Amino acid sequence: MRKKITIISTILIILLTIFCGVALSHPHVFIAQRITIVFDNQGLAGFNIHWTFDDMFTIMIAEDYDKNQNKVLEKSEIALIKKEAFSYVSNYNYFTFVKIDGKPFDVKFIQNFSAEFHDKKIVYKFFIPCHITATSNFKNVRVASYDPSYYSAIFFANNGSVPLDNSKSFKVRAVIKEDKSTSIYYGQINPWALFLDFRTK
């Protein structure tokens, strides 16, 4: 009898720990993301990403990295931001999870990182290379944006159509919607994703 009570108590403690974690965990950083689909002569070249952060994160970056407090980020300050307040997300695919025809594509590096203050918000800009040669058949690409830990919440700020760069040679279909095939935060959240199909004309 005593053994049964101990087992039940242990199970209750585990369940309480899990449910308390769910109740207490929530995002601390909020990111509004804009994405532009970039093509080259061969097909898809990659994605230009803009992250606009919330007020609290902006204040933190301004206090820690705008050393002269002139509200303009110099090259040395941007380099330090990249090193200390951005590069760590490389461990999480830069919060960008890509599938090409259903197969995962690891985002191992980015290009052209910059940071600036715009409308009193800190904005990160960077390019994610993702080269896919176009064919006469549609290529399917899904780009889901999320922090697996849900410490940061990422929202697509694109409304309506998704901007395209150098796409005139291709037939393109692009939509941003909830990715119901992916869940985070104890299965409670489905992140939003870009669903892209393209082929030669």
pLDDT tens column, 32-78: 999 999 999 999 999 999 999 999 999 999 999 998 899 899 999 99
Task: State pLDDT tens for residues 155-165.
Answer: 998 766 799 99
| Model pLDDT for residues 89-112, shown as the tens digit of each residue | 999 999 999 999 999 999 999 999
Determine whether domain 28-200 maps to CATH 2.60.40: no
| Residues contacting residue 164 through CB under 8 Å, at least 6 positions apart | 36, 37, 39, 172, 174
pTM greater than 0.95: no
72-80: which pairs have CB atoms within 8 A and are 24 or more residues apart? 72/117, 73/115, 73/116, 73/117, 77/115, 78/113, 78/114, 78/115
Q: Rounded distance, CA 42 to CA 56, Å? A: 42
pLDDT tens-digit series, residues 123-153: 999 999 999 999 999 999 999 999 999 999 9
Domain ranges of the chain: 28-200
